[in-house]
C-alpha cells in the first residue's frame, strides 16, 4: 500500500514540489503557517490541514522551511508535528540547514521513534516546476529506498550519499558554489559589456561554451532583462548559505578563499537593502562598482527549463 504523505512548508520551492507529487497521483495533506499559501493547492487535489499536528497521522511527512530554528519549531514546539501522542513514521527534510542542527534534530526525532531522512535539493522553483530537480539524501539506506518513489516524482534524479548528515554537507558545498558562480558570472558579464559586447550576446556565448550549465542558462534571461522581481532565491538566503559554507570549512579545516570573498560581496549586497528580490541583483552592484549603469535589453533568451 502507498504511504500517506504530509507536507509542511509552502514557499516557492515547497509549492512546486507538492504539485509534482500531486501530478504523480500521490495524495498529499499540506500545512503552511500562512494558510492562504496552502489553499490554492486544493485545486490540484491536496488536502489542507488546519494545524501542523494534523499531519502526525501521515506515514511520511516532508518538511521544507528556511532555517534550523524554523524546522525545530514546526516539529517540536507546542502543537508541533511530533509534540503530541500521534507521530508520523518518517520525517523527510529538504530545508537548507547546518550539519550540527540536523544531527540534533535526528537525535530528538529518533528518541521519539520517528525516522529521519535528509534530502536537500539542487534547483529553484522554476527547476522544480519543470521536474528537473536533483535530490540528494542521507540517512539509513532502507529509509531512502522507502522514500525514493516519492522523490522520483519530484526530480529528474535522486541519489543517496551515505548515512547521517552527509547530505547537509553536500547541500552546503553546493550552495557555496552557487554563490561563487553567480559572483563570477556577474563579474565577467560586466567586463564584457563595458568592453562593448551586448550582455545577451555574451551570456548566450557562455551558455553554448564548455562553461555553460543549467545554472548559467536559467539565470541568463534575468541578467539580460534585469527582471530581479521574479524571485528564485533572495540575497539574505544566499548569505545564510554562504555563512553555513564558511562555518563548515572552518570545522573541517578547509581553506576557501574564493568563497570567503564571495561571502563578503553578498553581505555588502544585503547591507545595501536588497531584500525581496532575486539574488542576481548582484549584477547591478557589480556594474555600479565598475561605473556602469545597466538597462534591460528586453530580449528573449531560453532558460533551458522548457518541458
pLDDT tens string 122-143: 988 888 998 999 999 999 999 9
Name the pLDDT band for 302 (thresholds 50, 70, 90): confident
Number of domains in the chain: 2
Cell of 123: 534547483
**At 62, which helix (H) or strand (E)?**
strand 60-63
pTM score, whole prediction: 0.88
Q: Residue 24 gets which letter from DSSP?
A: T
C-alpha to C-alpha distance for 240 and 28, rounded to whole angstroms: 30
The answer to whether residue 306 is domain-embedded is no
The answer to whether residue 28 is domain-embedded is yes
C-alpha to C-alpha distance for 294 and 104, rounded to whole angstroms: 46
Residue 186 has pLDDT above 60, yes or no: yes
Domain boundary among 138, 164, 190: 164
Q: Please say whether the dihedral angle defined by the alpha carbons of residues 98, 150, 152 and 182, taken in this order, is positive or negative.
A: negative
Read off the pLDDT of residues 10-52 as tens digits, 9 standing for 90 and up: 998 999 999 999 999 999 999 999 999 999 999 999 999 999 9
Name the pLDDT band for 306 (thresholds 50, 70, 90): low
**β-sheet bridge partners, residue 29:** 6, 47
Domain at 226, CATH number:
1.10.1040.10
226 CB-near residues (< 8 Å, 6+ apart): 283, 284, 294, 295, 296
pLDDT computed for residue 78 by the predictor: 95
Of the candidates 305, 125, 297, 119, which has an alpha carbon nearest to the alpha carbon of residue 222?
297
Residue 226 falls in which region: left (phi positive, over 0), alpha (psi -120 to 50) or beta: left
Helices first, then strands: H and E counts in the chain: 12, 9
* pLDDT (mean) for 158-184: 96
Residue 269 has pLDDT above 70, yes or no: yes
Domain at 139, CATH number:
3.40.50.720
C-alpha to C-alpha distance for 58 and 182, rounded to whole angstroms: 39
Statement to judge: residues 106 and 206 lie in one domain: no
Name the pLDDT band for 305 (thresholds 50, 70, 90): confident
- Residue 120 domain boundaries: 5-164
Mean pLDDT of the chain: 95
Statement to judge: residues 61 and 92 lie in one domain: yes
Statement to judge: residues 271 and 124 lie in one domain: no
The answer to whether residue 111 is domain-embedded is yes
Portion of the chain with pLDDT greater than 70, in percent: 99
104 CB-near residues (< 8 Å, 6+ apart): none
Domain boundary among 164, 182, 216: 164
228 CB-near residues (< 8 Å, 6+ apart): 222, 277, 278, 280, 281, 284
Statement to judge: residues 232 and 94 lie in one domain: no
* 28-31 and 47-48 strand pairing: parallel
Residue 235 has pLDDT above 90, yes or no: yes
C-alpha to C-alpha distance for 92 and 61, rounded to whole angstroms: 6
* pLDDT (mean) for 195-212: 97
The answer to whether residue 303 is domain-embedded is no
Residue 251 has pLDDT above 60, yes or no: yes
* 133-138 and 121-122 strand pairing: antiparallel
Portion of the chain with pLDDT greater than 90, in percent: 90
Residue 60 has pLDDT above 90, yes or no: yes
| Separation in Å, CA 58 to CA 9, 62, 80, 86, 189 | 16, 10, 14, 9, 48
Cell 553567480, residue located = 182
Residue 204 has pLDDT above 60, yes or no: yes
Amino acid at each position: 500500500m502507498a504511504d500517506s504523505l504530509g507536507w509542511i512548508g509552502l514557499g516557492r520551492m515547497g509549492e512546486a514540489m507538492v504539485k509534482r507529487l500531486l501530478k504523480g497521483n500521490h495524495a498529499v495533506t499540506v500545512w503552511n503557517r500562512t494558510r492562504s499559501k496552502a489553499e490554492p493547492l486544493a485545486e490540484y487535489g491536496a488536502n489542507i490541514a488546519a494545524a501542523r499536528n494534523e499531519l502526525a497521522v501521515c506515514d511520511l511527512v516532508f518538511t521544507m522551511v528556511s532555517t534550523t530554528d524554523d524546522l525545530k519549531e514546526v516539529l517540536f514546539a507546542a502543537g508541533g508535528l511530533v509534540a503530541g501522542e500521534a507521530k508520523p513514521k518518517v520525517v523527510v527534510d529538504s530545508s537548507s540547514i547546518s550539519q550540527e542542527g540536523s544531527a540534533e534534530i535526528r537525535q530528538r526525532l529518533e528518541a521519539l521513534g520517528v525516522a529521519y531522512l535528509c534530502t536537500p535539493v539542487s534547483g529553484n522553483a522554476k527547476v522544480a516546476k519543470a521536474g528537473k530537480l536533483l535530490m540528494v539524501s542521507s540517512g539509513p539506506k532502507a529509509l531512502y529506498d522507502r522514500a525514493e518513489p516519492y522523490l522520483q516524482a519530484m526530480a529528474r534524479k535522486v541519489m543517496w550519499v551515505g548515512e547521517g548528515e552527509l547530505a547537509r554537507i553536500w547541500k552546503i558545498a553546493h550552495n557555496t558554489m552557487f554563490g561563487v558562480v553567480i559572483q563570477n558570472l556577474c563579474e565577467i558579464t560586466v567586463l564584457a559589456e563595458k568592453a562593448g559586447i551586448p550582455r545577451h550576446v555574451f551570456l548566450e556565448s557562455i551558455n553554448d561554451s564548455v562553461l555553460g550549465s543549467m545554472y548559467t542558462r536559467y539565470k541568463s534571461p534575468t541578467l539580460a532583462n534585469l527582471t530581479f522581481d521574479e524571485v528564485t532565491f533572495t540575497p539574505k538566503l544566499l548569505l545564510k548559505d554562504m555563512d553555513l559554507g564558511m562555518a563548515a570549512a572552518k570545522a573541517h579545516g578547509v581553506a576557501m578563499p574564493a568563497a570567503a570573498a564571495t561571502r563578503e560581496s553578498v553581505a555588502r549586497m544585503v547591507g545595501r537593502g536588497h531584500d525581496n528580490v532575486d539574488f542576481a541583483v548582484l549584477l547591478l552592484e557589480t556594474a555600479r562598482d565598475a561605473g556602469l549603469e545597466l538597462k534591460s535589453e528586453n530580449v528573449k533568451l531560453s532558460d533551458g527549463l522548457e518541458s
